[in-house]
Amino acid sequence: MSVKKLSILLGILLIASMILTACPAPTPQVVEKIVVQTQVVKEEVKVVETRVVEKSVEKIVEKPVEKIVEKIVAAEDYTTPHPILSDIRVRQAIAYCINRDELIASVYPYVVDKKALRMDTFLPKTHWAYKGPYTDYEFSIEKGSKLLDEAGWTLAKGATVRANKKGDALALKFTTTTAQFRQTWAAVAEQNLAKCGIQLIRQHVPASWWFGDTTGLARRDYELGAFAWVGQADPSGRTLYACNQIQLPSNNWEGQNGMGWCNKTASDAIIKANNTLIKDERIKAYDIVQKEFSKDMVSLPLFQRAEAEAWSINLEGIKVDPTEYATASGPTWKLKNGGDTVVFGLSQEPASLYQLVEDAAVARQVGQLAIGVIYTQYNYDYQPALQSPLSTIESGLAKNVTIEAKAGDTVYSTDGKPVKLEKGAKLFDADGKEVEYAGSGTVKMPQLTVTYKFKDFTWSDGTKGSVEDLKLGYKNDCDKDSGATSFITCESIAKIDWGTGLEFTVTYVPGVQTPTYYLAPFYIYPANMKVKDGRLLKDVPAKEWTTLPEIAEKPLSYGPFVVSEWKKGEYIKLTANKFFQPAPAAKNVTVLIVTDTNQAVAQLLSGDVDYLEKATLGGGAEVQKVLDAKKAGKVNAEIIASPTWEHIDMNLFTK
């Protein structure tokens, strides 16, 4: 501070002291907050209340004629750089000091190939948008310790925890759920970090608080925080990594960028990746984001969760995959011993096969066998099935044109919703830039038109598929009485033109740039099927569909099989659809409901069940039993790197 500034400051303080001597001092306003921290002590949840007293003091400044009262306003929450985590060297050191292979071994002792589960960025290594390898931060106490030394966190002789020159300990609070799975690997991480002189203070909190709407992650209430994301075919990521998606009190905690990470290069790239429909352009943009993400180390990807599937050595044609159900390969299932019925074990029974309102995985799996497959989703990407080809810009079935939207038009907002274009509306313009409409004039926006085409098909009653079946899909799925929970796609359609064959063309409202635009937006239903009372399905009101046996229990099928019998709580019997081409290899499939995993494994080993899918077998101790049986040549089994992945986020700012 200069001598001049210091003199001025001393003068102000002298005047202030004289005023305060002459006037009664204001009574400090005391604000008491209860900070609740939940910790796990010896596997018991203990709630600890700490009273924190904050004082807000008013400063009074005397001026001629009038007195002005100024309040000292505290900085906004999470705008103050974290004293430890704001240093990139510390964050990188944390990555080096955690042995992820040990973490994996602690929860999946049966996994031999640890590298198959380890991640070096926010996308699995088999994803179409992954162009690594990126910096992996292999376990190295030496590298981690060197970085910490450089950052000024040194380890005194005989000490176990590093400290800086001020004597502050290198200690960080680590928050995650009470799940035993996370307690197990977190304990290993704590031991790892201790070897580098970093003290981890673990807080295992209830999931209801950690994932609450106004607590935990939603309010960035952590220093280090662990949870899981579920990887998808479309990487998305704008709300996670863009600079304008950092949650703050001033923006009503909107966004999911809890780390507070603002890297302009990465931010611009993630916005670009989500505002172009050209796949090659998206790949380049995601590559930039991943490089910056890995370099800055704001979030440490730990590992993909392990899942397992197992099937009889007598069964062939099974195709297992991290993002697609094996039931998509149902037409090729075949018993090598000549048997005609494949027994498929499920731990849960579908509530309904009406997939518009029943989104459970078991309903999807049975539906792929007993209704059909419009497109598949193998290895984080999409492939044509009944819809063929996929309606991409590259295929010529989709196009983007630039139009001028005016006040009152329906457009797609930056929030991903159709809105009226009026003053204050936020949208992406034709250049992919976020703009706010001033209330008058026009704004150039992209408008997407897509043609969806389907192969010829025949329903299981012998009726040829027609454009009327496609029309019924649109009519029912967009009916507010259908039971659907979202109508954003329907409300985002400007118009539909129906073809004479199995195709239709959708013109979306300006601004719609949904990355999965090329996938058919509606289900397909047999429009001219008669229900029990003699009505045609197309004449049955949408509100009645949930209770129609012809929809919920024994739907017509364009897939490889059709439901022949359903005994609730026990089994669903499927028989080959004689109109499906090429004909399915198996004549029958029985879906057996087996709620106990140990029982399911026992039935697999005894030969009473031919296939156990990933949710039924899971990733627990039963997997080892199956792997032992595989080693003995009794069954086939495969460990899958699940799309669900564990990670540790680092909050770069503090309250």
pLDDT tens for each residue of 470-509: 999 999 999 999 999 999 999 999 999 999 899 999 999 9
pLDDT over threshold 50, residue 623: yes
8-state DSSP, 80: E
30 phi/psi in degrees, rounded to 5: -100, 125
**pLDDT confidence of residue 8:** 37
Chain centre distance of CA 589: 33
Superfamily in which the 387-551 domain is placed by CATH = Dipeptide-binding Protein; Domain 1 (3.90.76.10)
Q: Which long-range contacts (CB under 8 A, 24 or more apart) does 359-366 make?
A: 361/325, 361/615, 362/615, 364/325, 364/327, 365/325, 365/327, 365/613, 366/327, 366/572, 366/591
**pLDDT confidence of residue 247:** 96
Beta strands at 653-654 and 80-81: parallel, antiparallel or unpaired: antiparallel
d(CA 224, CA 213): 19
Are 141 and 97 in contact by the 8 Å Cβ rule? The answer is yes
As a whole number, mean pLDDT of residues 407-424 equals 94
CB-neighbour burial class of residue 459 (10 A; exposed 0-12, middle 13-18, buried 19+): buried
pLDDT over threshold 80, residue 131: yes
The domain 314-379+558-633: what is its CATH number? Answer: 3.40.190.10
pLDDT over threshold 50, residue 654: yes
- Confidence category of residue 1, pLDDT binned at 50, 70, 90: very low
**Helix/strand/coil for 639:** strand
Averaged pLDDT of the chain? 89
As a whole number, mean pLDDT of residues 283-304 equals 98
Domain ranges of the chain: 3-74, 81-304+646-654, 314-379+558-633, 387-551
As a whole number, mean pLDDT of residues 405-420 equals 94
- Give the pTM: 0.84
As a whole number, mean pLDDT of residues 299-324 equals 97
Q: What is the 3-state secondary structure (H, E, C) of 278-312?
A: CHHHHHHHHHHHHHHHHHHCCEEEEEEEEEEEEEE
pLDDT over threshold 50, residue 62: no
pLDDT over threshold 60, residue 605: yes
d(CA 324, CA 343): 20
- Which tens digits make up the pLDDT trace of 18-48? 333 333 333 333 332 323 333 333 322 333 3
Q: Which of 171, 130, 146, 133 is nearest to 96 (CA)?
A: 146
What residues contact 481, with CB distance under 8 A and at least 6 apart? 541, 542, 543
Strand partners, 536: 530
**In this prediction, what percent of the chain has a pLDDT beyond 90?**
85
The domain 81-304+646-654: what is its CATH number? Answer: 3.10.105.10
8-state DSSP, 88: H
Structure tokens at 167: 């004597």
- Confidence category of residue 602, pLDDT binned at 50, 70, 90: very high
192 phi/psi in degrees, rounded to 5: -60, -50
pLDDT over threshold 70, residue 99: yes
Q: Name the E strands within 121-222.
A: 171-177, 199-205
